[in-house]
């Protein structure tokens, strides 16, 4: 295993332990008997469906080395994955992207019905903020405020609303940039900024982290759109070819496939450039950025 793989795995395990701890079965801190069992099952189904845990890994890597205690950052790592998972559950609903498959498994509403899927998403979002609000870490409130802003109407939800509103509209590169920045980059920015804030990093390091996540997110989403055109459903873990059918204003739809590939490379190069200022995590974030172009899922 490479140094990068070892470090990624260490963060991923820490994040998954935190998720289990904060969304655990009866007898542990968050008891199932306090919530309807179907709701608990639906929350856990999506949370443990095999995601890559990119956002909590980024948050932890921005905070410290895997062998450090990381205690102050762990509830935030769990919270950001809960927010991400809620967004995927809602994004898959018939009223939005209407997807049957996610992370290689049936989507929440296909298993639990639409009502319970909406509630599982809502519950994960609320649980995330409950967890962060309970933190006694220094600067916890600042980190939580950044996450709230970047996941909210001026951030991820704003991007998703524009994505929905712009279906079948005339191609517009500025609009695609707006949609992708907010829909996708903002939650990466939230993760890396929250980790940096909790670690007490200075404003220059926080600004570099933000630049990194912005360009990483754009490269990630352009690649995601290319996978929707060229990927294989069995590997990608969700249906392909849906963006064109829905008239989505994606990067390749507006710029063309060849230009979109070049733009993904350009955004990756910009993320790599920003990673140089990320201290002892520079190599880790550089390797993470280099993996985007090779994404198959």
Site string for ligand GRG, 59-98 (x = CB under 6 A): -------------------------x--xx-xx-------
- One of 8, 15, 51, 271 touching ligand GRG (CB under 6 A): 51
Shortest distance (Å) from residue 254 CB to ligand GRG? 17
Cα–Cα distance, 194 to 147 (Å, whole number) = 7
Cα–Cα distance, 144 to 159 (Å, whole number) = 20
- List C-alpha distances in Å: 123 to 2, 67, 273, 284: 37, 32, 38, 33
CB-based contact 4:57 (threshold 8 Å): no
Question: For residues 160 and 196, which CB has a smaller minimum distance to ligand GRG in the complex?
Answer: 160
Cα–Cα distance, 89 to 35 (Å, whole number) = 19
Total residues at interface with ligand GRG (CB under 6 A): 16
Contacts to ligand GRG from residues 112-131, by CB under 6 A: none
Cα–Cα distance, 5 to 287 (Å, whole number) = 10
Question: For residues 44 and 84, which CB has a smaller minimum distance to ligand GRG in the complex?
Answer: 84
Cα–Cα distance, 2 to 201 (Å, whole number) = 27
Site string for ligand GRG, 163-192 (x = CB under 6 A): --------------------xx--------
Shortest distance (Å) from residue 73 CB to ligand GRG? 19
Shortest distance (Å) from residue 125 CB to ligand GRG? 8
User: Counting contacts by CB under 6 A, is residue 57 touching ligand GRG?
Assistant: no
Question: For residues 196 and 221, which CB has a smaller minimum distance to ligand GRG in the complex?
Answer: 221
Shortest distance (Å) from residue 136 CB to ligand GRG? 28
Q: Single out the residue of 174, 165, 160 nearest to residue 255, CA to CA.
A: 174
Structure tokens at 23: 């969304």
Supply φ then ψ for residue 105, to 5 degrees: -125, 165
**Which residues here bind ligand GRG, judged by CB under 6 A?**
51-52, 54, 84, 87-88, 90-91, 103, 156-157, 160, 183-184, 221, 224
């Amino acid at each position: 295993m490479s140094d990068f793989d070892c470090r990624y795995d260490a963060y991923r395990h820490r994040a998954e332990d935190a998720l289990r701890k904060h969304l655990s079965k009866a007898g542990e801190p968050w008891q199932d008997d306090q919530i309807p069992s179907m709701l608990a099952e639906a929350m856990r189904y999506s949370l443990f469906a095999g995601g890559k845990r990119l956002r909590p890994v980024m948050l932890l890597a921005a905070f410290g080395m895997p062998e450090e205690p990381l205690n102050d950052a762990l509830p935030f790592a769990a919270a950001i994955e809960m927010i991400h998972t809620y967004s995927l559950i809602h994004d898959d609903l018939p009223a939005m992207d209407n997807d049957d498959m996610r992370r290689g498994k049936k989507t929440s509403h296909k298993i639990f019905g639409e009502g319970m899927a909406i509630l599982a998403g809502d519950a994960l979002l609320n649980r995330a903020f409950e967890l962060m609000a309970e933190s006694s870490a220094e600067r916890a409130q600042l980190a939580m405020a950044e996450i709230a802003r970047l996941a909210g109407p001026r951030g991820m939800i704003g991007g998703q609303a524009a994505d929905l509103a712009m279906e079948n509209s005339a191609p517009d590169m500025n609009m695609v940039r707006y949609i992708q920045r907010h829909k996708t980059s903002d939650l990466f920015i939230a993760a890396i900024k929250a980790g940096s804030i909790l670690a007490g990093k200075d404003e220059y390091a926080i600004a570099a982290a933000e630049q990194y996540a912005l360009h990483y997110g754009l490269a990630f989403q352009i690649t995601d759109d290319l996978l929707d055109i060229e990927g294989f459903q069995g590997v990608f873990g969700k249906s392909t070819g849906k963006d064109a059918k829905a008239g989505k204003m994606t990067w390749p739809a507006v710029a063309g496939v060849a230009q979109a590939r070049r733009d993904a490379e350009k955004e990756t190069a910009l993320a790599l450039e920003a990673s140089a200022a990320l201290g002892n995590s520079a190599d880790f974030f550089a390797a993470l950025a280099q993996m985007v172009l090779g994404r198959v899922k």
